[in-house]
Homo-oligomer: A and B are copies of this chain.
Amino acid sequence: MQVTEINTCCEPVLDAALSEEGAAELAVAFKVLSDPVRLRLLSLIACAPDGELCACDLPALVDRKQPTVSHHLSILADAGLVVREQRGRWAWFRVAPQRLAVLRDALGG
């Protein structure tokens, strides 16, 4: 059975064999979620009263220094899991739910 020709990138893990390229892309996406600080940032932003949170509050909330939080927020934004919006000096973040849905579907949604 020649697996690599059957699928494109993001088929459910349980329903179809992944190609090498698809597995590589999925792995990158899951790696973004494989850090506890990033998971907490994501859930904090998602649970914020107005669906958005100022970056200035996050270092205290996750108990990490500002460069570390900025680094993780960049990774989340580059992965398309959160959206960054600059307002004056402050950076506000909200979640981009479609991206999470892609990963959820990959797990056999």
Q: Which residue numbers of A lie inside 8 Å of B, CB to CB?
A: 3, 11, 13-18, 20, 23-24, 26-28, 30-31, 33-40, 42-44, 46-47, 61, 95, 97, 100-101, 103-104, 107-109
Contact = CB atoms under 8 A, between A and B. Distances in A.
Contacts of A33: 26-27, 30, 34
B18 A43 contact: yes
A23 B95 CA distance: 17
A35 to B, nearest CB: 6
Given A103-B107, A104-B107, A107-B104, A39 B17 contact: no
Contacts of A109: 104, 109
A43 B16 contact: yes
A101 to B, nearest CB: 8
Contacts of A13: 39, 42-43, 46, 100
Nearest to A108: B100
